[in-house]
Amino acid sequence: MKILHFALAGALALASFTGGALAQSKDDYLTIELKDGPVVIELRPDIAPKHVQRMKELAAAGEYDNVAFHRVIQGFMAQTGDVQYGDIEEGFRPELAGTGGSTKPDLPAEFSDVPFERGTVGMARSQDPNSANSQFFIMFAPGDFLNGQYTVVGKVVEGMENVDKIKRGDEANNGAVSDPDRMISVKVGK
């Protein structure tokens, strides 16, 4: 019993040191290749297992490759992941980008108490909390007003300087980006 107690205490100490998550496997990361270099996202299956699984499935199938950052707002976030209308090489549709998803069904919300801070990755959705599908966003700055309203799926742990270089959109047009930057490739792992 004492061994179990010490093992549990060690795991809890590790969890508090790593920000609440237990040590993760290499499959709990996504690496996004951008024009300025890679971005590594540590995924959080402990708080959003269905959303993390969806992102990993889409990445493994190559669905995120060449997809545009269609909505990018200075001081807020960069949104991407519209695999239906956001693929630059398959005929990017700027008038529709941000309205599509994948061929998979929408996901039920997995809200948590993890705050939206700089580098946090969250799932985009419509007004229906259970409408997240494939789109996600990366925070440039804290966004407390999103806390508990959107599903957190992870955090950028390497390459935030490359996220900062993503082309910004037109503030007057809700951050819509003409000739947008894209995710060149997205792979599971780091």
Domain spans, the chain? 24-188
Amino acid at residue number 21: A
* Out of 7-11, 74-78, 111-115, 154-158, least confident range: 7-11
Between CA 157 and CA 82 the distance in angstroms is 23
Query: Residue 89's pLDDT is what?
Result: 75
Instruction: Map tokens 């590790």 to a residue.
Output: 14
The two counts, helices (H) then strands (E), for the chain are 3, 10
pLDDT digits 0-9 by tens, 12-56: 334 433 444 444 678 999 999 999 999 999 999 999 999 999 999
Between CA 122 and CA 141 the distance in angstroms is 13
Are 138 and 163 a contacting pair, CB within 8 Å? yes
Between CA 20 and CA 77 the distance in angstroms is 24
Between CA 181 and CA 190 the distance in angstroms is 21
Spell out the long-range contacts of 40-43 with Cβ–Cβ below 8 A and sequence spacing 24 or more.
40/156, 40/157, 40/158, 40/159, 40/190, 41/121, 41/138, 41/154, 41/155, 41/156, 41/157, 42/154, 42/155, 42/157, 43/153, 43/154
How is domain 24-188 classified at the architecture level of CATH?
Answer: Beta Barrel (2.40)
> Residue 92 pLDDT more than 60?
yes
Q: What is the DSSP string of 43-72?
A: E-TTT-HHHHHHHHHHHHTTTTTTEE--EE
Q: What is the mean pLDDT of residues 137-164?
A: 98
Choose between 47 and 87: higher pLDDT. 47
Between CA 59 and CA 75 the distance in angstroms is 27
Provide the whole-model pTM: 0.86
Confidence at 156, pLDDT banded by 50, 70, 90? very high
Rg of the chain's alpha carbons, rounded to an integer?
A: 17
Confidence at 172, pLDDT banded by 50, 70, 90? confident
